Amino acid sequence: MAPLYREMNIQDYDGLLDLWKRTPGMGLSSADRKTAIEFFLDRNPGCSYITVETGKIVACLLAGHDGRRGYLHHLAVDPEFRQRGIGSKLVNISLDILKGMGIGKVHLFIYNDNELGKKFWAALVWELRQDIGIMSLAI
């Protein structure tokens, strides 16, 4: 049976959290609690997608924008389902949606030591920026 790609909703949360926890290189924080994910999905309708196969979530991608730039978060593909183009398809779905919303540039965050993730994104022709960094402040 072919995988089903559909828009993510908050009822998917438990399956998402399980997948994220099993994904090497994934950083989780209080920003990933259910209420925060629900707020993100409500603020960015139609941007985030999951892949369902054999009755379970096997891949996901959170995507959204701030009106100027798009952002991709938490792309995860179950190791059993990798190397089948599922991650690339999720990325393309979300990029098409963001482009249709008038977003012309998309960013993502990746840990410096996530070599597998860097390899994946480089294969999709994403550029690892050396000219900018990120600074954070918990409020």
Prediction pTM value = 0.93
pLDDT of amino acid 35:
98
Q: Can you read off the two tokens belonging to residue 121?
A: 């994104």
As given in the structure block, the two tokens for residue 123 are: 């294969």
For residue 138, the model assigns a pLDDT of 85
CB 25 within 8 A of CB 9: no
Higher pLDDT, 138 or 69: 69
Measured between alpha carbons, how far is 49 from 69 in angstroms, rounded to an integer? 18
pLDDT in tens, 64-122: 999 999 999 999 999 999 999 999 999 999 999 999 999 999 999 999 999 999 999 99
Which residue segments constitute the domains of the chain, with CATH numbers given? 4-123 (3.40.630.30)
Phi-psi group of 4: left, alpha or beta (phi > 0 → left; psi -120 to 50 → alpha; rest → beta): beta
Give the tens place of pLDDT for each residue, 3-36.
899 999 999 999 999 999 999 889 999 999 999 9
Q: Residue 95 is encoded by which pair of tokens? A: 């990029």
Q: Which residues contact 98 (CB under 8 A, 6 or more apart)?
A: 47, 63, 65, 70, 106
Q: What is the pLDDT of residue 1?
A: 74
Residue type present at position 53:
E
